[in-house]
Chains A and B, each alone.
Chain A
Amino acid sequence: MTEVSVAKEDRAANGELVVLKSVNKHFGALHVLQDIDLTIARGEVVVVIGPSGSGKSTLCRTINRLETIDSGSITIDGKPLPAEGKALARLRADVGMVFQSFNLFAHKTVLENVMLGQIKVRKVDKAKAEEKARKLLDRVGVASQADKYPAQLSGGQQQRVAIARALAMDPKVMLFDEPTSALDPEMINEVLEVMQQLARDGMTMIVVTHEMGFARSAANRVVFMADGRIVEEAVPDQFFSNPRSDRAKDFLSKILHH
Chain B
Amino acid sequence: MRCGPTRTAPYPTFATHPEAREIVFDFLSDYDDPSLLGAFWVTVQLTFLSAVGSLIWGTLLAAMRVSPVPLMRGFGAAYVNIVRNIPLTVIIVFTSLGLADIFGVALGAPDDFEVKYFRLAVLGLVAYTAAFVCEAIRSGINTVPVGQAEAARAIGLSFSQVLRLIVLPQAFRSVIGPLANVLIALTKNTTVAATIGVAEAALLMKEMIENEAQVLLIGAIFAFGFIVLTLPTGLFLGWLSKRLAVKR
Looking at A33-41, A113-121, A222-230, the stretch in contact with chain B turns out to be A113-121
Q: How far is the CA of A94 from the CA of B155 in the complex (A)?
A: 8
Looking at A47-55, A101-109, A212-220, the stretch in contact with chain B turns out to be A101-109
Contact of B148 among A86, A91, A96, A106 (CB under 8 A): A106
The residues of A that contact B221 with a CB separation of less than 8 Å are: none
Whether the Cβ atoms of B157 and A99 lie closer than 8 Å is no
Point out which of B153, B154, B166, B169 has the most chain A C-beta atoms below 10 A from its C-beta. Answer: B154
User: Which residue in chain B gives the minimum CB-CB distance to A121?
Assistant: B156
Q: Is A90 an interface residue (CB 8 A)?
A: yes
The residues of B that contact A117 with a CB separation of less than 8 Å are: 155-157
Q: Considering only CB atoms and an 8 Å cut-off, how many residues of chain A contact the other chain?
A: 31
The residues of B that contact A132 with a CB separation of less than 8 Å are: none
Whether the Cβ atoms of B161 and A97 lie closer than 8 Å is no
The residues of A that contact B246 with a CB separation of less than 8 Å are: 106-107
Chain B interface mostly: helix
* Interface band, chain B: 20 to 34
Contact of B166 among A93, A105, A149, A152 (CB under 8 A): A105
Q: How far is the CA of A93 from the CA of B155 in the complex (A)?
A: 5
Q: Is A210 an interface residue (CB 8 A)?
A: no
Q: How far is the CA of A93 from the CA of B161 in the complex (A)?
A: 13
Q: Is B158 an interface residue (CB 8 A)?
A: yes
The residues of A that contact B169 with a CB separation of less than 8 Å are: 107
Q: How far is the CA of A105 from the CA of B166 in the complex (A)?
A: 7
Whether the Cβ atoms of A120 and B157 lie closer than 8 Å is yes
Q: A106-B148, A120-B161 are in contact. Are A64 and B154 (CB under 8 A)?
A: yes
Contact of B155 among A101, A151, A152, A166 (CB under 8 A): A166
Whether the Cβ atoms of B151 and A151 lie closer than 8 Å is no
B247 to chain A, nearest CB (A): 4
The residues of A that contact B158 with a CB separation of less than 8 Å are: 86, 89
Q: Is B152 an interface residue (CB 8 A)?
A: yes
Which chain B residues numbered 103 to 155 have a C-beta less than 8 Å away from chain A? 145, 147-148, 150-155
Contact of B173 among A92, A95, A107, A149 (CB under 8 A): A107
Q: How far is the CA of A118 from the CA of B78 in the complex (A)?
A: 38
The residues of B that contact A169 with a CB separation of less than 8 Å are: 155-156
Whether the Cβ atoms of B170 and A107 lie closer than 8 Å is yes
The residues of A with any CB-CB pair to B shorter than 8 Å are 64, 66, 84, 86, 89-97, 99, 101, 103-107, 116-117, 120-121, 149, 151-152, 162, 165-166, 169
27 A-B contacts, Cβ less than 8 Å apart? A64-B154, A66-B153, A66-B154, A86-B158, A89-B157, A90-B156, A92-B154, A92-B155, A92-B156, A94-B156, A97-B151, A97-B154, A99-B147, A99-B150, A103-B151, A105-B151, A106-B148, A106-B246, A107-B169, A107-B173, A107-B246, A120-B157, A120-B165, A121-B157, A151-B247, A152-B247, A165-B155
The residues of B with any CB-CB pair to A shorter than 8 Å are 68, 145, 147-148, 150-158, 161, 165-166, 169-170, 173, 246-248
